[in-house]
Amino acid sequence: MRKSVRAAALLLPLMLVAVACGDDEETTDATEAPAAETTAAPAEGGTDTTAAPEEGATDTTAAPAEGGDAGLAAAQAIVDASAIPPDKISPTVALSATPEPGKVVAWLECEQPSCAAITPGFEDATAALGWELIVIPASSGAQGPAIQQALDQGADYIAHTGSPLATAEAEMAAAKEAGVPYASCYSTDDPDFENNNLLMQCGDEEAVKVTGGLISNWAIVDSQGAANVLIVNIPDFPVLIAEADAAKAAYAENCAACTVEELNVTIDQLIAGEVPGAVASAIQANDAINYIQFTFGDLPAGVADTLSGAGLLEGRKLIGVDFSTQIGLPGIIDGTHAAWTSNPKPYAAWLMVDAFARHSVGDENSEERANAALVSFIVSDAETAQGVLDLGDAGWPGPETMAEQFAALWGV
């Protein structure tokens, strides 16, 4: 039996919770040309440790010193290795026993459509175990009441995405006291079960470093080492800061002639639909920009139309991490977007349920850190984009036979 109470979806999803980060530079309104701040290029293979600019500012990174033919070849090798969807799940260790049926998993589904895309994974994974799923509406960064509701409804396990544990300290402590473990994805808390009750953190800081670097290397290859990039980001999210740093580091390592600017916007600007105007202003201030790179899939909502209407889209490519089935994939099909990395949201749910299954039989999740880096690939052609869209609203859910692979490990 499955209980499902869903939140009304907002137009623009955010997977992560805000933790403010910025310096004291002067800011501008997102609809005006952003002020530019010049920062040093990251060291080879490293990340930019400069404080994130205030909202609405454009962080201009100097051209990296490394790259050349060797850098282009290195970027090509990375892109080639990510050209097709992975067919294997990350976990490889079978459970020591088959989990008993009847456990109750509470999935705290945030108010954003991206969270709804994860839900089918929870439905399928819990059904495979004979477990019950409760879907509880939750607010990003304010999931405390939903945690309490899960405890009141007798949940054995609780899962949520995007929000650091610190945003619900009292309720997390209550869950720990009640012996109800927690799993998360798309945030930065490190699993330390004995101390913070967290069994799993997938799609975390280390994972987005991989995908951030991956899409940068695609731009390096596509431009033949001549990309002038605008990275559009919301630096309130620690996980997105890590992604942007990794993206800049990839350009620094493999592209001597590439330049990078970072346009930082806020959650409120995203929800208010002000991102397209901010991007247009940044391009008007720097006409050399030829790649616009977004740190997650719903950030470019309306950008292509705005740039096209202003005569600013021609000669520029929209790319990013974690495609949206409403924006990025249709954009690849109609030619307004160029390339996106995948983010298998249903697979993330299977990983969290896998962590619960292992706990239920007393097993250690010895591969948790390896599993945290979600499997991914690059979508850059219309045929592949259409094929992914044909799979449904969640896009690419994960490896094609992941249900059978997880079931084999679980003994069900």
Dihedrals φ, ψ of 153, to 5°? Answer: -90, 10
Q: What integer is the mean pLDDT of 218-235?
A: 97
The rounded mean pLDDT for the chain is: 85
| Structure-block tokens of residue 118 | 């994860």
From residue 40, alpha-carbon distances to 13, 231, 251, 268, 355 in Å are: 32, 16, 13, 29, 41
The model's pLDDT over 133-185, given as tens digits with 9 standing for 90+, comes to 999 999 877 899 999 999 999 999 999 998 889 999 999 999 999 999 999 99
Residue with tokens 């299954």: 357
> What does the alpha-carbon distance between residue 371 and residue 215 come to, in Å, rounded to a whole number?
21
Name the token pair of 267. 């959650």
Distance CA 371, CA 153 (A): 30
DSSP state of 111: S
Q: What is the pTM of this model?
A: 0.75
**pLDDT over 70, % of the chain:** 83
- Pair 345, 394: CB distance under 8 Å: yes
Kindly report the backbone phi and psi dihedral angles of residue 46, in degrees, each rounded to the nearest multiple of 5, phi listed first.
-110, -165
| 55, 32 Cβ separation under 8 angstroms | no
Across 195-234, b (16+ Cβ under 10 Å) vs e yields ebbbbbbbbbbbbbbbbbbbbbbbbbbbbebebbbbbbbb
Q: Residue 44 pLDDT > 70, yes or no? A: no
Give phi and psi for 157, each to the nearest 5: -145, 150
Structural domains of the chain sorted by starting position, each given as residue range(s) with its CATH number in brackets = 23-84+208-341 (3.40.50.2300), 104-205+344-374+400-410 (3.40.50.2300)
pLDDT of residue 2 exceeding 70: no
Q: Which amino acid is at 190?
A: D
Q: Please tell me the predicted confidence (pLDDT) of residue 136.
A: 97
- Bridge partners, residue 22, by sequence: none
pLDDT digits (tens, 9 = 90+) for 87-115: 999 999 999 999 999 999 999 998 877 78
pLDDT of amino acid 140: 79
- Three-state SS for 80? helix
Average pLDDT (250-257) is 96
Gap between the Cα atoms of 72 and 255, Å rounded: 7
Contact in structure between 235 and 290 (CB atoms under 8 Å): no
Across 121-143, average pLDDT: 94
Instruction: Please say whether the dihedral angle defined by the alpha carbons of residues 326, 328, 329 and 333, taken in this order, is positive or negative.
Output: positive
For residues 346 and 127, is the Cβ–Cβ distance under 8 A? no
Contact 114, 378 (CB under 8 A): no
Q: How many residues does the chain have?
A: 412
Strands (E), 112-271: 132-138, 157-161, 182-185, 198-202, 228-233, 259-264
How many angstroms separate the Cα of 402 from the Cα of each of 94, 261, 347? Answer: 14, 39, 8
What are the backbone dihedrals phi and psi of residue 106, each rounded to the nearest 5 degrees, phi first?
Answer: -100, 120
Detail the DSSP E strand segments found in 18-131: 36-39, 58-61, 104-110
Whether pLDDT at 32 is above 70 = no
How far apart are the two ends of the chain, measured CA to CA in Å? 18
| Cα distance between residue 91 and residue 351, in whole Å | 8
- Tens digit of each residue's pLDDT (9 = 90 or more) over 373-409: 898 999 999 999 999 999 988 789 999 999 999 999 9
